[in-house]
Amino acid sequence: MTDSAVDPSHRSRAPRRRAWWSGGSTVRAWNGELLGWSVIGLGAGMLLGAWLGMLFGGVWGQAALWAALLTPVILAFRRGIPRGLLAVRPVDLLYGVVLGLVLRIVQGWSAVAFGGSGALPSYASLDGSLPRLWWAEDLLAGGIVAPVIEELFFRGVLLVALFSVVRRSARRASPDRRGAGIRRAGVVSVAVTTVLFVLTHQLVSALTPDAAVALTLLGIATGALVVLTGRIWPAVLVHIVFNLSGVGLIVAGTLLG
């Protein structure tokens, strides 16, 4: 067969690059050491945040926790960026809007199931007005900044590092069962990061039962998205939509109440 008989699309098509979860040089340094530093950063951030929060107020405590979570993120990305993790696709926005709103609806159902009235939440206000800095503390910090930092840490660093460690361990134990190692790493990394995600929120501020259910489902959904798509931004957008929709309900409940 001559070159002219070959389909040009086959000649020009570039080989598909593997995602980070299949291993490779981009996650070689994402190992047990990085995993350990991430856990230490989480613990230190929670302790420092609680201490500063008691002394100077919640804003300083939250800032300390965010700084502690960002430190392992910076350390990890200096070691290398996992292949495809920071890629962006148009479908990521669809994931974010649909799953974020579905999770918010489930949280509302859970609130009613645990004895809630089903009424819109609202700010504690005597005259029905919004707090002066609600847009900074809740809309920007809680609705956008917190989801980005939390997802970069829990699903961007902690999950990927744990996935890589478990996958390597499984491959050493059963070198002929590569697929089984990937599946095991996916289940373990999603489960562990979800538990730590919920516990962190519980220790920072006591969770109601419906909030615990919603955060658990949020952790599972965002973790699964990172494993299945290989990208972090679907998880970030789901978290942002979930948080912003909660702020929107509180604002509506305050103004309409």
The count of structural domains within the chain is 1
- For residues 150 and 72, is the Cβ–Cβ distance under 8 A? no
- From 19-33, 137-151, 212-226, 239-253, the region with the lowest mean pLDDT: 19-33
d(CA 242, CA 247): 9
Residue 14 is predicted with a pLDDT of: 47
Q: Give the range of the structural domain holding residue 99, as residue numbers without chain letter.
A: 87-256
Give mean pLDDT, residues 237-251. 97
- pLDDT of 1 higher than 80: no
Q: How confident is the model at residue 77 (pLDDT cuts 50, 70, 90)?
A: very high
Q: What is the pLDDT confidence band of residue 180, given thresholds at 50, 70 and 90? A: low
**Rounded (to 5) percent helix, strand, coil in the chain:** 75, 0, 25
Q: What is the pLDDT of residue 84?
A: 95
> Is 26 domain-assigned?
no
Residue 236: burial class (beta carbons within 10 Å; 0-12, 13-18, 19+): buried
Residue 62, pLDDT above cutoff 50: yes
Tokens matching residue 47: 């302790």
Most confident range, picked from 23-37, 114-128, 141-155: 141-155
CA-CA distances (angstroms) from residue 84 to 92, 121, 149, 256?
Answer: 13, 39, 19, 44
DSSP 81: P
Tell whether the model's pLDDT for residue 52 goes beyond 60. yes
CB 107 within 8 Å of CB 249: no
Asked whether residue 107 is assigned to any structural domain, the reply reads: yes
Instruction: Confirm if 30 and 80 have CB atoms less than 8 A apart.
Output: yes
pLDDT of res. 236: 98
Give the C-alpha distances (Å, rounded to integers) separating 112 from 115, 185, 206, 244. Answer: 5, 35, 19, 20
55 CB contacts (<8 Å, ≥6 apart)? none
Structure token pair of residue 85: 């993790």
Largest CA distance in the chain: 83
Distance CA 118, CA 123 (A): 16
| Cα separation, 89 vs 222, whole angstroms | 16
In a domain, residue 67? The reply is: no
Residue 42: inside a domain: no
Question: In whole angstroms, what is the distance from residue 70 CA to residue 30 CA?
Answer: 16
Instruction: Report yes or no on 48 lying in a domain.
Output: no
Place of tokens 């599946």: 183
- Domain presence at residue 160: yes
Q: Is residue 173 part of a domain?
A: yes
Establish if 228 belongs to a structural domain: yes
Q: Cα(98)–Cα(94) distance, rounded to whole angstroms?
A: 6
